[in-house]
């Protein structure tokens, strides 16, 4: 089992370009697994963690409802935002500047073959990271992602998640609001969940801006520990 995870920090990059790149790495890993099986080879599959910040974009998961996007094409253009229907689970979400998006492309055969556990560990990565800033976050029953003040009228989401997996290879991932412009969430019903607010780390800390690189480092530390992975 190969527990090395290659971290690739892509900086600010277009959503479609990054999606295509994910698909390429995802396919390479799947192809290697198929070759190993067919040709009785034992070549280790590679694992990746892509970290990226996107320009304004809305993405709709395969089970999502298009009506949860509250903007027309013309309004999207005015907002300088794009829209994609994609192949992850979940409904609609927003990505944009000030948000850390993580795309783990892991062969779970290298770690554990349990998608439920995989999602819970991604959530835990974010929960432990936020705890370092004195923020108590948690899971909300039946709602993937990371939330604050669950079970109260002030429940708000700080991190969205949606993944795809095939033959235990993962893609897509999580989006943590660090210095996000929350106004962009007003134009969707986030994850198809009505009457729930969205927040960002800088808002919760009462700061104009939080150091994104520092948050990334903390996320990678907890990811490495929870997945018992060696980040390279």
Catalytic positions: 191
Q: Which of 223, 5, 23 is nearest to 122 (CA)?
A: 223
Q: d(Cα 2, Cα 108) in Å, to the nearest integer?
A: 10
First to last CA, the chain: 16
133's enclosing H/E stretch is: none
For the record, the structure tokens of 232 come out as: 């390279």
The answer to whether 98 and 181 have CB atoms below 8 angstroms apart is yes
Could you give the residue ranges of the DSSP H alpha helices within the chain?
15-38, 73-78, 115-131, 201-205, 212-227
DSSP state of 69: B
Largest separation between any pair of C-alpha atoms in the chain? 57
DSSP state of 55: S
């Amino acid at each position: 089992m190969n527990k090395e995870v290659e971290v690739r920090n892509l900086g600010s990059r277009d959503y479609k370009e990054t999606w295509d790149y994910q698909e390429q790495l995802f396919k390479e890993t799947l192809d290697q697994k198929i070759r190993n099986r067919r040709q009785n080879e034992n070549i280790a599959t590679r694992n990746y963690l892509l970290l990226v910040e996107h320009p304004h974009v809305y993405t709709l998961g395969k089970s999502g409802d298009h009506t949860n996007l509250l903007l027309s094409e013309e309004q999207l253009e005015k907002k300088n935002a794009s829209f994609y229907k994609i192949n992850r689970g979940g409904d609609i979400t927003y990505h944009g500047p000030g948000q850390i998006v993580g795309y783990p492309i892991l062969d779970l055969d290298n770690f554990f073959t349990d998608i439920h556990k995989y999602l819970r560990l991604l959530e835990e990565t974010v929960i432990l990271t936020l705890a370092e800033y004195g923020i108590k976050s948690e899971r909300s029953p039946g709602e993937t992602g990371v939330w604050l003040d669950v079970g109260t009228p002030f429940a708000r989401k700080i991190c969205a998640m949606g993944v795809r997996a095939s033959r235990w290879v993962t893609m897509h991932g999580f989006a943590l609001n660090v210095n996000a412009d929350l106004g962009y969430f007003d134009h969707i019903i986030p994850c198809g969940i009505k009457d729930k607010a969205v927040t960002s780390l800088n808002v919760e800390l009462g700061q104009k801006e939080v150091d994104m690189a520092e948050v990334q480092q903390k996320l990678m530390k907890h990811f490495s520990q929870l997945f018992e992975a060696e980040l390279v």
